[in-house]
Structure 1
Amino acid sequence: MTPSLKTLTLLLALGLGAAHAADDHGGPVTPKPYAPGVTLSKSVQASITPEQAIKILQAGNQRFAAGKSLKYDHKRHVRQTALGQFPFASVVACIDSRSAPEQVFDTGVGDIFTTRVAGATVNEDMVGSLEYAAKVAGSRAIVVLGHTSCGAIKGACDDVQMGNLTGLLAKLKPAVEATSTPGERNSKNHRFVEDVTEMNVKLTVEKIRSISPILKEMEAAGQIKIVGAVYDTATGQVHWQ
């Protein structure tokens, strides 16, 4: 279902309208090319294609993995984004402390939206957030980012039962069931765990498309890309599906 004009207007008022005015300065906007480390403006965001958004993330990860991350002036970026934001991408990631998307992709304040939960899966609330990011705020790409040695994936492989975690791990079970790696089907089988991680990323990408006609239509129209990737906690590199 496409949001109504009234809905979009309300969402803009919640965080984008003021920044739009700041970007326009009362006159026509002159598009500027994207530059790493420079706070994004509306005109720069608008100039980024979905394919370029992925390439920006790939370049950022290459810097991170090589130990050449940029030195950001966070204080200045906080000031510049005080009235609005124009992120170029959204990332669905695990809560794992080693895989923070802002670090892994070497991005600054206001560059990317992130939604995180153990195992890097999604529910309706998270997909609704991604719809806002893409349809209203102009994000050009959605990346589902799993990672190696994922505790949540291991828990799903071992059928762990523990409080509210039980329900969360159940969302990862389809990936366990769809993986046919030879050997033990538990966390002792390292290859099995990593294959389940890859499968979970693929299924989550498909789940986003299946429960969001808005995002599926935007992707079909070439307005966004929805892709999967896995972060290697041993090397710092992101491998793309």
Structure 2
Amino acid sequence: MVNNKRIPFLIFIAAVILFSSCKSKADLEYSKATIINHSVHTKEQQQALTPDEVLKQFKEGNERFRNSDFTIRKHSDTIRKAATGGQYPEAMVLSCLDSRVPVEDVFDQGIGDVFVGRVAGNFVNTDLLGSMEFACKVAGAKLIIVMGHQHCGAIKGAIDDVKLGNITAMLQNIKPAVLMSQNYEGEKSSKNEAFVKLVARNNVRNTLTEIRAKSEILRTMEENGEIKIVGAFYVLQTGELQFFD
């Protein structure tokens, strides 16, 4: 017969054994993490990179992200203090406002690695074009990525012609992509995910066109091979970035 006083102890032991044998998938994935002492880029390191090399690094970073091959960066006071003296990021990413698209995580980047501009619908205006020109011409970034994504609320709002405060004017920036997609043969509504995806991808293409048309600085830099300007579409379910040709 088991001593009644020992029952709580035996329950505790059983719970420990059960917990240790039932590691979640997340725990197993976390064990794949790579811990590094992240160093902030120097100007020399940034200038030595080519646009193609930066694009390759960012694609590899996304592969690590979607495979849960995490990079854990030790963001110590040393790193933060090192970053205060200047910044030499490799790239500029224009992303949607969407909280499900964490830009630095999606590319597995750290402090000082990337400029990020965010606006619902990842379109460009004067402010964002000026930010891109600063990132590339002044601060030396070698790559611009325009990143749209799946299930985008701004895209759905533009398709549905939403009228609400300042959102109405904002969505006008996305309307060209809706017009570009009118040859679609299926249902042209925000309830049709295939149509939403088509408009989102065309919105990225339109943004790329706008950058080249409205920024002589960036267009010239791209023509001279100093930078690359590329588009990508982020798939929420998988974390994959599909880069455009």
Deviation at 1:36, TM superposition (A): 9.8
Say yes or no: does 1:205 pair with 2:244: no
* Partner of residue 224, structure 2: 221
Deviation at 1:87, TM superposition (A): 0.2
Deviations 1:72-126 (A, max 9, x none): 1122421210111100000000010111211110100000001000011110111
Local SS of the residue matching 1:239: strand
* Partner of residue 70, structure 1: 71
Deviation at 1:38, TM superposition (A): 3.3
* Partner of residue 89, structure 1: 91
Kindly indicate whether the alpha-carbon contact (under 8 Å) linking 2:92 and 2:135 is maintained by their aligned counterparts in 1: yes
* Partner of residue 143, structure 2: 141
* Partner of residue 192, structure 2: 189
Instruction: Tell me which of 122, 125, 130 is aligned to 1:123.
Output: 125
Kindly indicate whether the alpha-carbon contact (under 8 Å) linking 2:38 and 2:79 is maintained by their aligned counterparts in 1: no
Kindly indicate whether the alpha-carbon contact (under 8 Å) linking 2:37 and 2:73 is maintained by their aligned counterparts in 1: no
* Partner of residue 170, structure 2: 168
Identity across aligned pairs (percent)? 44
4+ residue stretches of structure 1 with deviation over 4 A? Answer: none
Higher Cα Rg: structure 1 or 2? 2
Deviation at 1:221, TM superposition (A): 0.1
Between the aligned partners of 2:41 and 2:49, the Cα distance in structure 1 is 11
* Partner of residue 48, structure 1: 49
Kindly indicate whether the alpha-carbon contact (under 8 Å) linking 1:187 and 1:193 is maintained by their aligned counterparts in 2: yes
Local SS of the residue matching 1:81: helix
In structure 2, give the amino acid aligned to 1:64.
Answer: F
Between the aligned partners of 2:38 and 2:145, the Cα distance in structure 1 is 20
Kindly indicate whether the alpha-carbon contact (under 8 Å) linking 1:181 and 1:191 is maintained by their aligned counterparts in 2: no
Between the aligned partners of 2:121 and 2:37, the Cα distance in structure 1 is 29
Give the number of equivalent residue pairs: 207
- In structure 2, do the counterparts of structure 1 residues 149 and 137 end up closer, same or farther at CA, with 3 Å as the change threshold? same
Deviations 1:5-34 (A, max 9, x none): xxxxxxxxxxxxxxxxxxxxxxxxxxxxxx
- In structure 2, do the counterparts of structure 1 residues 36 and 236 end up closer, same or farther at CA, with 3 Å as the change threshold? farther
Instruction: Tell me which of 158, 161, 179 is aligned to 1:159.
Output: 161
- In structure 2, do the counterparts of structure 1 residues 138 and 36 end up closer, same or farther at CA, with 3 Å as the change threshold? farther
Kindly indicate whether the alpha-carbon contact (under 8 Å) linking 2:65 and 2:106 is maintained by their aligned counterparts in 1: yes
Kindly indicate whether the alpha-carbon contact (under 8 Å) linking 1:120 and 1:201 is maintained by their aligned counterparts in 2: yes
Deviation at 1:57, TM superposition (A): 0.7
Kindly indicate whether the alpha-carbon contact (under 8 Å) linking 2:94 and 2:118 is maintained by their aligned counterparts in 1: yes
- In structure 2, do the counterparts of structure 1 residues 36 and 152 end up closer, same or farther at CA, with 3 Å as the change threshold? farther
RMSD: 1.3
Kindly indicate whether the alpha-carbon contact (under 8 Å) linking 1:92 and 1:144 is maintained by their aligned counterparts in 2: yes
Matches within 5 A, 1:19-30: none
In structure 2, give the amino acid aligned to 1:203.
Answer: N
Kindly indicate whether the alpha-carbon contact (under 8 Å) linking 1:60 and 1:104 is maintained by their aligned counterparts in 2: yes
TM-score normalised by length of structure 1: 0.84
